[in-house]
Chain A
C-alpha cells in the first residue's frame, strides 16, 4: 500500500489561506469518509486537527477545515497564523487488510 501523496511544502503570508491536498485511490481516501489530518511541530507528537474528512475536534480553531472530492482530500487553513507553521499529515482508513495509510507530509511555512 503506497502512502497518500501530499505536496512537500506550501507557504503563505499571515492572514492568507493555504490548501494541502492528499491524493489517494478508491481503496483508501476515495473509498471511505475516514480521512484525518494531523499537525506536528518540530520535536512534538502529532495533534489531531480534522477527522472523518470534515469534523473538527474541540479546541481546534475554526480556520482549519477539511473536504474531499473523489480520491483527494484537502485541508485548508484560512487566516494563516505564525503558529500554524508545522508539518501536516493526512491519514485514511484503507480497508480491513491494510487498515491505515498516512500521507507523505507537507511542511507549511508562514512567510
Chain B
C-alpha cells in the first residue's frame, strides 16, 4: 500500500526556521513526484510546489517560489518543505501527496502537518 506519513505538528515564533517531512512507503520513492499543498485555517487548497526525487527536479508555484524550499532525500524516501523565516501568515496545514506523472493527480495524500506561527 502506498502511504505518506508526515511529521508532527509544530509551534514556532515569527522569524524562526522550520523543516517538515513526508516519508513515502509501499512504492519506489524515486519514480513518483511529490507535491506540497497548503490549507490555511478555514480556507481552500493551494498548490505550492512539486519535486521528482529521482533527479530532484523541482517546480514551484509562482506564489510560493521565494517563500519555501522543497527538497528530497531518496536514501530515506523522504521529502521536505522548509522555511528560513516563518511569518504568522504561514500558519496552516501542509499536505504532501504523490503525483504519478507531471500534470497528473494527487494521490494518496499524507495526513497533514499543522504549522502554527505565533509570538
Contact B103 A32 (CB under 8 A): yes
Residue of B nearest to A101 (CB): B47
B24 within 8 A of A: no
Of A34, A89, A99, which contacts B45 at CB under 8 A? A89
Binds B, one of A16-24, A40-48, A77-85: A40-48
A86 within 8 A of B: no
Give the chain A neighbours of B45 by CB distance below 8 A: 38, 40, 46, 89, 91, 102, 105
B61 within 8 A of A: yes
Residue of B nearest to A57 (CB): B107
Interface residues of A in 61-97 (CB under 8 A from B): 89, 91, 93, 97
Digitize B37-74: 1 where CB-to-A-CB distance is under 8 Å, 0 elsewhere. Answer: 10000001111001000000001011000000000000
Contact A52 B61 (CB under 8 A): no
**What distance in Å separates the Cβ of B24 from its nearest Cβ neighbour in chain A?**
15
**What distance in Å separates the Cβ of B115 from its nearest Cβ neighbour in chain A?**
15
Of A32, A51, A97, A102, which contacts B105 at CB under 8 A? A51
How many residues in B have their beta carbons less than 8 Å from beta carbons of A?
Answer: 22
Query: Per DSSP, are chain B's interface residues mostly helix, strand or loop, or mixed?
Result: loop
Of B35, B62, B104, B111, which contacts A45 at CB under 8 A? B111
Contact A97 B62 (CB under 8 A): yes
Give the chain B neighbours of A102 by CB distance below 8 A: 37, 44-47
Task: Please judge, given known A-B contacts A48-B106, A48-B107, whether A105 and B44 are in contact too, CB under 8 Å.
Answer: yes
Contact A93 B103 (CB under 8 A): yes
Contact B107 A91 (CB under 8 A): no
A36 within 8 A of B: yes
12 additional contacts (CB under 8 A) given A89-B45, A91-B47, A102-B37: A1-B61, A1-B62, A32-B103, A46-B37, A46-B95, A51-B105, A91-B45, A93-B103, A93-B104, A97-B62, A99-B61, A103-B44
